[in-house]
Amino acid sequence: MTRITIDPITRLEGHGKIEIFLDEAGDVHNTYFQIPELRGFERFCVGRPVEEMPLLTNRICGVCPEAHHMAAAKAGDAVYGVDPPSAAKKLRELLYMGFYFTDHTTHFYALGGPDFVMGPDAPVAERNILGVIHKVGLEIGGKVIQARKYGHTVVEMLGGRKVHPCTSIPGGVTKGLSEAERVDIEEMGRWAVEFAQFSLQLFADIVLGNQQYVDLILGDIYSDRTHYIGLVDDNNLVNFYDGKVSVVDPDGKRLGKYAPEEYTDWIAEHVEPWTYLKFPYLKQVGWKGFVGGNDSGVYMATPLSRLNAADGMATPLAQAEYERFYETLGGKPVHQRLAIHWARLIELLYAAERWMELATDPEITSKDIHTVPTKVPTEGVGIVEAPRGTLTHHYWTDERGILTKVNLIVGTTNNYAPITMSIKKAASSLISAGTVVTEGMLNMVEMAFRAYDPCFGCATHSLPGQMPLQVTIRDADGGVVDVLRQNC
């Protein structure tokens, strides 16, 4: 049997390793997507004071520390049964919008973008952010840098730091917003909305305007029928910071919504001995392996999932794009994975609009930003939407608020099963008898999961590291026919 190892997958924050097994005929027999590491946060957070969790779990992922910061803060509120002042909640959400704006921008232009902007089979050395800048021009490159800068500025103003914010504590936040700061944030927000619209236009021009890409997106290679989940507000509109988790089946039918503390009734995790990462699935539907369809508990949690699981967007411009999205792709739900890139840009716009709403909310400069917890701490769950999926933090503490147990279900982990399926599907369609595996083709395989913007820095909250990406083709006797190595 021939064995192909892709290891690691470049340009995803974190680590991964793919094993592709070909049968005698040279067709794909099976694929394994392995996460090689585990860091042990659930273990070593035990014994720590709960108010430190927003700071410790930050370090699960430097790409989306704000998501962990928020989930941890909300879990902390829950542990103490304290309801932060509404100004505090708005300040947290505003910070979060700044983060979403930066993160989605980063992914589109630096990580996922190059596949489209440069083209899947562009020279390796150019398939990166610098390549993108060279292609779209320094002026746009400048805009991209500006966008990331603005987002981080908001994060820094409210979170105290650009990376790994430090201001959320049980019951609220430690830092308020001055009027002067608010004015700055409002101005940047106005620019942010324009940039989001500009990015959607760029996508329309470069991607939707290019039939090859459209075919790629709509083609069957990158499509899987799975369940979808995403956080929604009371009106079932997409929300990143708060609300209930909406679950829809492959037909788009809503199976229900669950509150944070109910997550264990809905989500369960499956363990395989050949990888460190677990496979979450819908408990009521059950684990049926790496298959799609209504009977398989496999679900996806991405920008696309959030759009599929919600009834719309809470801001006007984003809502318009939302409608255009489903019109173009033929109605809900959309199963094509590459559409995640587009969905991400719609969320980018929503984040920018929400940013403006909050920046102009009179309450945002209130001094009432913290409620001292009075109840005896016990147990609590905090859920937010991380850019890469629903993020769940569940803490148990002793009466002093010292953690006795921790459970985390992290953004990317949600997508472990669907990613595995996408890889197998992409590989099967791209590699068949007699095919000579090319680098471009490998990248096409990578594209399958890069669309998820998988962050295994996050996923491996439970061990990080990076492995060489390598394709080894062996003949039936296991002798090495050819070795292709991709990156590091």
Partner 1 sequence: MSDNGKPKFAMYWAASCGGCEIAVLNINEKILDVDANFEVVFWPVAMDAKYKDVEAMPDKSITLTLFNGGIRNEENEHLARLLRQKSQILVAFGSCATEGCIPGLANLSSTEQIFAAAYDSVSTVNPDGVRPEYAYDIPEGELYIPAFYPVLKTLDQVVDVDYYMPGCPPESHQIAAVVDLVIKALHGEAELPPKGATIGAGMSTVCDECGRKRHVKKVKKFVRIHEVEEIDPELCLLEQGILCNGPATREGCGALCPSAGAACIGCYGPAQGALDYGARLMTALASVIDSNDPEEIDSILDGIVDPVGSFYRFSLPHSLLRAAKPAWTNGSR
Contacting partner 1 within 149-168 (CB under 8 A): 149, 152, 156, 159-164, 166-167
488 lines the binding site for partner 1 (CB under 8 A): yes
Among 26, 27, 42, 328, indicate the residue that binds partner 1 (CB under 8 A): 42
Nearest to partner 1 of 175, 344 (CB atom): 175
Residue 113's closest CA among 94, 101, 127? 127
Token couple for 459:
């996923």
Q: Is 401 in the site for partner 1 (CB under 8 A)?
A: yes
Instruction: Report the alpha-carbon distance of residue 5 to residue 484 in Å, rounded.
Output: 9
Residue 63 or 318 having the CB closest to partner 1? 63
Determine the Cα–Cα distance for residues 433 and 4; give it in Å rounded to an integer: 14
Residue from 220, 360, 465, 476 binding partner 1 (CB under 8 A): 465
The answer to whether 365 contacts partner 1 (rule: CB under 8 A) is no
406 binds partner 1 (CB under 8 A): yes
> Smallest gap, in angstroms, from Cβ of residue 140 to partner 1?
13
User: In the set 271, 316, 331, 399, which binds partner 1 (CB under 8 A)?
Assistant: 271
**Two structure tokens written together for 219:** 């083609």
As measured in angstroms, the least distance from the Cβ of 390 to partner 1 is 13
Q: Which is nearer to partner 1, 325 or 449 (CB)?
A: 449
State which residue, 19 or 233, has the beta carbon closest to partner 1: 19
Smallest distance from the beta carbon of 175 to partner 1, in angstroms? 5
**Integer Cα distance of 426 and 115 in angstroms:** 15
CB of 311 to partner 1, least distance (A): 27
Q: Which of residues 409-428 bind partner 1 (CB under 8 A)?
A: 409
> Which residues is 423 bridged to in the sheet?
none
Kindly identify the residues of this chain, within the stretch 282-341, that bind partner 1 according to CB under 8 A: 287
Please give the residues from 8 up to 37 whose contact with partner 1 meets the rule CB under 8 A. Answer: 8, 10-11, 13-14, 17, 19, 21, 29-30, 32, 34, 36-37
Interacting residues with partner 1 between 227 and 266 (CB under 8 A): 263-264
Q: By CB under 8 A, what part of segment 87-146 binds partner 1?
A: 106, 110, 124-125, 127-131, 141-142, 145
The bridge status of strand 299-300 relative to strand 379-386 is unpaired
Among 280, 292, 382, 411, binds partner 1 (CB under 8 A): 280
In the complex, the smallest distance separating the C-beta of residue 248 from partner 1, rounded to whole angstroms, is: 21
Specify the stretch interacting with partner 1 by CB under 8 A; choose among 52-60, 190-198, 350-358, 420-428: 52-60
Q: How many residues bind partner 1 (CB under 8 A)?
A: 111
Residue number, 103 or 242, with CB nearest to partner 1 = 103
Residues 173-232 that bind partner 1 (CB under 8 A): 174-175
Structure tokens at 405: 């147990």
Residue 373 found at the interface with partner 1 (CB under 8 A): yes
Distance in Å, CB of 181 to partner 1, minimum: 12
Give yes or no for residue 389 binding partner 1 (CB under 8 A). no
With contacts defined by CB under 8 A, name the span among 88-96, 205-213, 272-280, 352-360 that binds partner 1: 272-280
Please identify which residue in 4, 63, 255, 346 interacts with partner 1, judged by CB under 8 A: 63
Position among 360, 468, 480, 482 found at the interface with partner 1 (CB under 8 A): 468
Burial string for 320-350 (b: 16+ CB within 10 Å, else e) reads: ebbeebbeebeebbbbbbbbbbbbbbbbbbb
Q: How far is CA 174 from CA 53, 107, 207, in A?
A: 15, 30, 44
